[in-house]
């Protein structure tokens, strides 16, 4: 039996494991290691914050998925990756030996990138611990004298969607409905979308009465709000940081090849450089030959490619390269039933239709992991 160990229940692993559940590989024994039973789907997180989706709707049940793939689910956190010894150390004190391994453990917030962030701000990642922190904030906001001014730091897709979501949710939670939301970003808003889409997005932010501070890199956070590098002060009672992520420190524990900024250095066939039987996927890995931003769309596309290459390795066949797409559809929802769509340098669209498309894509993705859709073929 070949023992495959999947470390982390990110998007890429969830899809690869689903593929192995539907079409099992003879002679393959699988173990999935993840610290939590439920893995959040970030595309629906802002909708969940806004109150549009339930907790169940946006979480993949990894235990159920593992069961469908006849895999063992080990609830633990990996603390070391030892390629030469074919061993993964877990925080339970156990060591897992493997023939093939894959690592999909996401990214982690860099809490020290902004002075005072640890003491005075909430971090978006890890997503699993964000909701309890937000629930505590909502409870304070329900008080007549509770906080009313919110600052979101980070104008990428995640921070922007969250600013919209918080605006909707906080207005409902505050007894007087008087909520101010500001969004600060180091560059212009969502540099990854095209100029027309950015125009639509700025308009949507204005319509939602979210104050946008572009070219305002926040250097310090204190109890009064954020202070940017140019000396501007953005007053806030609560701050959420959706910027400054870094590679998980645990990737340095062991002997796997890493990029200068600490991510797993992977080849186009998704294997970690210099490793015959260890893959790296999702945000925790960087393909030096084809670098892309850290985004779920790439992790999702890697899932089926990873499954194919695992199968090829088991069968002693040649592995195939997976070159990430050069442009992709970005959908930024305003939590009010509209969204802005952007693809490449030319396509931009705003309104109800992109929201319906986004909602459809997200629900369809999550439906893949419903029990009814995990029935095995072999
Ligand atoms: C609010 C928000 C909205 C977003 N919206 C979009 C969007 O619309 N489109 C888009 O493309 N991207 C979006 N993103 C980015 C997207 O979330 C990530 O790119 C995507 O989740 C990466 O998936 P992944 O496979 O790397 O794993 P992740 O989803 O990051 O999951 C990693 C998993 O590994 C587990 N793990 C961590 N450490 C360990 C360990 N030591 N041992 C074992 N397991 C571990 C974690 O518990 C986690 O479940 C958004 C992000 C946020 C925060």
Instruction: State the distance from the centre of ligand 1 to the C-alpha of 207, rounded, in angstroms.
Output: 30
pTM score, two decimals?
0.95
Q: Atom of ligand 1 at shortest distance to CA of 284? A: 26
Closest residue by CA, ligand 1 atom 18: 296
Q: Domain total for the chain?
A: 2
Is residue 191 in some structural domain?
yes
Ligand 1 binding pocket includes 334 (Cβ within 6 Å): no
- Region 145-155 average pLDDT: 95
Instruction: State the distance from the centre of ligand 1 to the C-alpha of 107, rounded, in angstroms.
Output: 7
Ligand 1 binding pocket includes 162 (Cβ within 6 Å): yes
Ligand 1 binding pocket includes 12 (Cβ within 6 Å): yes
Whether pLDDT at 164 is above 70 = yes
Q: How confident is the model at residue 377 (pLDDT cuts 50, 70, 90)?
A: low
Dist CA 21 CA 290 (whole Å): 30
Are residues 113 and 103 located together in one domain of the fold?
Answer: no
Task: Give me the helix-helix angle, 195-207 and 157-173, nearest 10°.
Answer: 10
Dist CA 335 CA 182 (whole Å): 16
Are residues 69 and 9 located together in one domain of the fold?
Answer: yes
Are residues 272 and 218 located together in one domain of the fold?
Answer: no
Are residues 226 and 136 located together in one domain of the fold?
Answer: yes
How buried is 200 (Cβ within 10 angstroms: 0-12 exposed, 13-18 middle, 19+ buried)?
buried
Length, in residues, of the chain: 378
Instruction: State the distance from the centre of ligand 1 to the C-alpha of 251, rounded, in angstroms.
Output: 16
Q: Atom of ligand 1 at shortest distance to CA of 283? A: 26
pLDDT for residue 376? 62
- Region 86-110 average pLDDT: 96
Is residue 164 in some structural domain?
yes
Are residues 84 and 125 located together in one domain of the fold?
Answer: no
Q: Which phi and psi angles does 136 have, rounded to 5°?
A: -65, -40
Is residue 351 in some structural domain?
no
Are residues 216 and 179 located together in one domain of the fold?
Answer: yes
Closest residue by CA, ligand 1 atom 1: 158
Q: What is the pLDDT of residues 287-310, one digit of tens each?
A: 999 999 898 999 999 999 999 999
Are residues 57 and 181 located together in one domain of the fold?
Answer: no
**Boundary residue ending a domain (283, 301, 326):** 326
**Residue 28 domain boundaries:** 2-107+247-326
Mean pLDDT score across all residues of the chain? 95
34: which strand partners? Answer: 75
**Among the listed ranges 29-33, 174-178, 259-263, which one has the minimum average pLDDT value?**
174-178
Q: Atom of ligand 1 at shortest distance to CA of 8? A: 44
Ligand 1 binding pocket includes 34 (Cβ within 6 Å): yes
**Among the listed ranges 215-219, 342-346, 362-366, which one has the minimum average pLDDT value?**
342-346
Q: What is the pLDDT of residues 22-55, one digit of tens each?
A: 999 999 999 999 999 999 999 999 999 999 999 9
Are residues 97 and 131 located together in one domain of the fold?
Answer: no
Instruction: State the distance from the centre of ligand 1 to the C-alpha of 99, rounded, in angstroms.
Output: 26
- Region 126-140 average pLDDT: 91
Instruction: State the distance from the centre of ligand 1 to the C-alpha of 231, rounded, in angstroms.
Output: 33
- Region 359-363 average pLDDT: 97
Instruction: State the distance from the centre of ligand 1 to the C-alpha of 313, rounded, in angstroms.
Output: 26
Q: Atom of ligand 1 at shortest distance to CA of 248? A: 38
Is residue 360 in some structural domain?
no
Q: How confident is the model at residue 372 (pLDDT cuts 50, 70, 90)?
A: confident
pLDDT for residue 127? 85
Whether pLDDT at 378 is above 80 = no
Of the candidates 183, 239, 253, the one whose C-alpha atom is nearest the C-alpha of residue 213 is 183
Of the candidates 285, 282, 243, 261, the one whose C-alpha atom is nearest the C-alpha of residue 157 is 243
Dist CA 316 CA 223 (whole Å): 59
Instruction: State the distance from the centre of ligand 1 to the C-alpha of 235, rounded, in angstroms.
Output: 30
Ligand 1 binding pocket includes 254 (Cβ within 6 Å): no
Are residues 120 and 62 located together in one domain of the fold?
Answer: no
- Where residue 320 sits, what CATH number does that domain have? 3.50.50.60
Instruction: State the distance from the centre of ligand 1 to the C-alpha of 44, rounded, in angstroms.
Output: 12
Are residues 177 and 98 located together in one domain of the fold?
Answer: no
115: which strand partners? Answer: 220
**Boundary residue ending a domain (176, 208, 243):** 243
Dist CA 205 CA 167 (whole Å): 10
Ligand 1 binding pocket includes 45 (Cβ within 6 Å): yes
Using CA atoms of 268, 270, 272, 275 in order, give the dihedral in degrees to the nearest 10. Answer: -100
Are residues 92 and 49 located together in one domain of the fold?
Answer: yes
Is residue 154 in some structural domain?
yes
Are residues 133 and 91 located together in one domain of the fold?
Answer: no
pLDDT for residue 104? 98
- Region 198-202 average pLDDT: 98
Is residue 371 in some structural domain?
no
pLDDT for residue 201? 98
Dist CA 97 CA 85 (whole Å): 8
Is residue 350 in some structural domain?
no
**Boundary residue ending a domain (201, 225, 243):** 243
Is residue 285 in some structural domain?
yes
pLDDT for residue 129? 86
pLDDT for residue 134? 94
Instruction: State the distance from the centre of ligand 1 to the C-alpha of 71, rounded, in angstroms.
Output: 22
């Amino acid at each position: 039996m070949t023992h495959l160990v999947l470390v982390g229940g990110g998007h890429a692993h969830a899809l690869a494991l689903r593929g192995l559940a539907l079409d099992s590989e003879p002679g393959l024994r699988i173990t999935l290691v993840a610290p939590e039973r439920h893995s959040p789907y970030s595309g629906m997180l802002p909708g969940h914050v806004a109150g549009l989706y339930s907790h169940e709707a946006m979480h993949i049940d990894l235990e159920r998925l593992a069961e469908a793939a006849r895999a063992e689910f080990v609830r633990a956190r990996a603390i070391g990756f030892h390629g030469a010894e074919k061993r993964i150390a877990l925080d339970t004190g156990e060591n897992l030996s493997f023939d093939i391994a894959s690592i999909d453990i996401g990214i982690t917030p860099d809490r020290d990138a902004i002075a005072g962030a640890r003491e005075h701000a909430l971090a978006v990642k890890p997503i699993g611990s964000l909701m309890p922190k937000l629930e505590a904030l909502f409870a304070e906001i329900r008080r007549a004298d509770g906080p009313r001014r919110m600052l979101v730091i980070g104008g990428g897709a995640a921070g922007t969607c969250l600013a919209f979501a918080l605006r909707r949710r906080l207005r409902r939670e505050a007894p007087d409905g008087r909520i101010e939301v500001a969004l600060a970003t180091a560059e212009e808003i969502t540099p990854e979308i095209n100029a027309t889409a950015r125009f639509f997005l700025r308009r949507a932010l204005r319509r939602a009465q979210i104050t946008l501070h572009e070219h305002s890199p926040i250097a310090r956070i204190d109890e009064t709000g954020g202070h940017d590098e140019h000396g501007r002060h953005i007053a806030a009672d609560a701050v959420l940081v959706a910027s400054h992520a870094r590679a998980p420190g645990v990737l340095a524990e062991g002997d796997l090849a890493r990029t200068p900024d600490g991510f797993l250095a992977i080849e186009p066939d998704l294997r970690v450089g210099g490793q015959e039987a260890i893959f790296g996927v999702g945000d925790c890995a960087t393909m030096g030959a084809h670098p892309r931003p850290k985004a779920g769309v790439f992790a999702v596309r890697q899932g089926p490619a990873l499954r194919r290459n695992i199968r090829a390795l088991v069968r002693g066949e040649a592995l195939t390269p997976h070159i990430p797409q050069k442009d992709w559809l970005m959908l930024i929802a305003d939590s009010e039933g509209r969204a802005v769509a952007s693809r490449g340098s030319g396509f931009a669209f705003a309104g109800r239709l992109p929201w319906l498309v986004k909602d459809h894509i997200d629900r369809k993705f999550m439906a893949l992991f419903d029990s009814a859709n995990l029935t095995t073929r072999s």
